[in-house]
Amino acid sequence: MKALKWMTVLATVVFGAVSCGAKQEAQKVLVLYYSQTSNTKAVAEEIATRLGADIEEIVATTPYDGDFQATIARCMQEREQGVKPEIQPLKSDVTKYDVVFIGFPVWFGTYAPPVAALLESVDLAGKKVVPFCTFGSGGLEACTKDLAALQPKAELLPGYGVRAARMAVVPQEIDQFLKAGGFLEGEYTKLENFPEQQPAGEAESAIFDAAVGDYPMISAKAKTVAQRALPDGVEYMFTAADQRDPEKELTVYVTVVNGEAPVFTRVVR
């Protein structure tokens, strides 16, 4: 339930910011990112293009193998040994920027190791820092907490995360995210808060099962649900019992766009 409370606060901040016509003038923005499969790179480029920001890739001196299993094996070994990969020095002088967007894929529930190496080598005190990430099921909330722990003197702003399976929605969501955060001028959709959760009925449970049924990393059953309207459909927030560990609960967000099948957008563990 702590994760649920954290997500509720985060969502309130992201969508509750009154930012129409409130573009942040005279602030120098840098977009830093690490990407292995190009998904995070695509998000980084979308942000940089829309903001006219400088952009730089975080590069591991010894690149991770593109093979999924090899990458996982190396990452696990580094975690067990408590080491961070060496990264190439940044060309950008971070001290000259007011706002720093930091992007990464989520590995093992947090940001990829090259980003951890960066965060331990730079001082972001006094900077506005905006995390963004790509993931299989979720992880933005955990990454945000980890980032805050490493950079406690930075002003951490609400972040953006997207499933790798939903990359087609990135341009639209980034537009809304940047406007809601005050980085771009223009109108955006301000979503209402979710109401109190209610027991999930047969229809809601069917929506949940349809959204997560073919995803192997989620084995859960819906317990309670709340819903709110979207401009083109409905968003559900489910609390679900983890069938692998009955004592744990998941918060699963599912979107049903008019005329389309249910899709889960993120999981908070």
Pairing of strands 29-33, 54-57: parallel
The pLDDT assigned to 210 comes to 97
* Residue 6 binned pLDDT confidence (cut-offs 50, 70, 90): very low
Check residue 120 and give left, alpha or beta (phi > 0: left; psi -120 to 50: alpha).
alpha
Residue type, 125: A
Q: Rounded to 5 degrees, what are φ and ψ at 16?
A: -90, -10
pTM across the whole model: 0.88
The pLDDT assigned to 26 comes to 67
The pLDDT assigned to 214 comes to 87
What is 93-115 written as a DSSP string?
Answer: -GGG-SEEEEEEEEETTEE-HHH
Q: Say how far apart CA 267 and CA 264 lie, in whole Å.
A: 8
Q: Say how far apart CA 241 and CA 93 lie, in whole Å.
A: 46
Residue 16 scores a pLDDT above 70: no
- Higher-confidence position of 107 and 6: 107
- Higher-confidence position of 195 and 78: 195
Q: What's the token pair of residue 44?
A: 């980084």
The pLDDT assigned to 220 comes to 95
- pLDDT digit string, tens, across residues 60-96: 999 987 678 888 889 888 888 888 899 999 999 999 9
- Higher-confidence position of 30 and 269: 30
Q: Look over the chain and give the mean of its residue pLDDT values, rounded to a whole number.
A: 90
Q: What's the token pair of residue 185?
A: 């001028």
